[in-house]
Amino acid sequence: MNVLQFKAPPLPHYITSGFVSDFPAGSKHVGRQNVGVFDLLVVTKGCLYLREEDRSYEVGEGCTLILRPDQAHYPTRPCTETTQHYWLHFQTTGEWSVSDALLPSGGPVSEEEQSSPAWSLEARPFHLQLPQFSRLQKPDSAHSLLARLVALNVSAHLDGARWKQEALFQELLQQLAAEAPGTGPSPGVICARQAAAYLREHYREDVTVQAMGGSLNFHPIYIARCMQAEYGCSPVEYLLRYRMEQAKLLLLQTDYPVTRIAEEVGFNQAAYFTARFTKYEGLSPRRYRQRFAHT
């Protein structure tokens, strides 16, 4: 199975779409090469017979196929019955690639992702994975989204309509990605995410790994192993970094003294908070605030 992997941000963006309601028996989908956009086909009746590179596809009712912008595609045989299908063109200005298998959802993060992790104030990169060919588990839902997209074409000259189309397209992509088989998180990823949620919820408190383990019903050593694989750090380091980012937000958004900020983010002693913040950020809390002070 070919899988299209899009690195975001930016997300893929919608261009245009349509619906072919009467594609009679004996007709063939047009052959094209290097069209420069992705072409999503969703068949609602009948079947389209296509080939791209060394792969042939029978895109029957309830199936989807995404044709790549950098490859030639052509029909392998005419339709044997009247066929109806939606088509949708989209593109991305970001990086994308093709793999022969789905990556596990929430697998080990790369060095680049670790440098911009979940606690960072910067956007965290992620991947959107779409099977190039798939059979929809919820075809009616996808068809409804596509019908609404096509209906908005008559007012696509208006910014409001284009905005709605983009929102519908992102919802469609999310559905296609969620319906792909084998994309569910592994037990280890589930454990790491639950631990991260626990730490985020209790970061103002005196958190211990024993209390977290008891709350999540996982052994602390297993939790640490899972978080290292998922986030590239231990639970203690994750908690410290999250506290530091919350402290940075308070330094930017409030005039609270450093002693109160230390308490707000779970430190009992302001001096210890200042020392850890200085080591983490490279400057003291006061100097960090002064960088953004209006003079």
Domain spanning 3-179: CATH 3.30.70.1290: no
pLDDT of 50: 96
Give 259-274 pLDDT, tens digit per residue: 999 999 999 999 999 9
CA–CA separation, 74 vs 76, rounded Å?
7
Phi, psi dihedrals of residue 46, rounded to the nearest 5°: 80, -150
Give 73-112 pLDDT, tens digit per residue: 999 999 999 999 999 999 999 999 998 866 655 444 444 4
CA-nearest of 115, 47, 109, 50 to 76 is 50
pLDDT exceeds 60 at position 122: yes
Domain boundaries, the chain: 3-179, 187-290
Residue 185 binned pLDDT confidence (cut-offs 50, 70, 90): confident
pLDDT of 106: 44
- Between 62-66, 109-113, 282-286, the lowest mean confidence (pLDDT) is in 109-113
CA–CA separation, 108 vs 78, rounded Å?
45
pTM greater than 0.75: no
Give me the mean pLDDT over the 116-129 stretch: 67
- Between 66-75, 102-111, 125-134, 159-168, the lowest mean confidence (pLDDT) is in 102-111
Mean pLDDT, all residues of the chain? 89
pLDDT exceeds 70 at position 225: yes
Give 187-224 pLDDT, tens digit per residue: 898 999 999 999 999 999 999 999 999 999 999 999 99
Q: How far apart are the first and last CA of the chain?
A: 59
What counts of helices (H) and strands (E) characterise the chain? 10, 11
N residues, the chain = 295
pLDDT of 217: 95
CA–CA separation, 183 vs 134, rounded Å?
13
pLDDT of 178: 80
CA–CA separation, 31 vs 72, rounded Å?
7
Q: What is the CATH number of domain 187-290?
A: 1.10.10.60
Helix (H) or strand (E) holding 97: strand 96-99
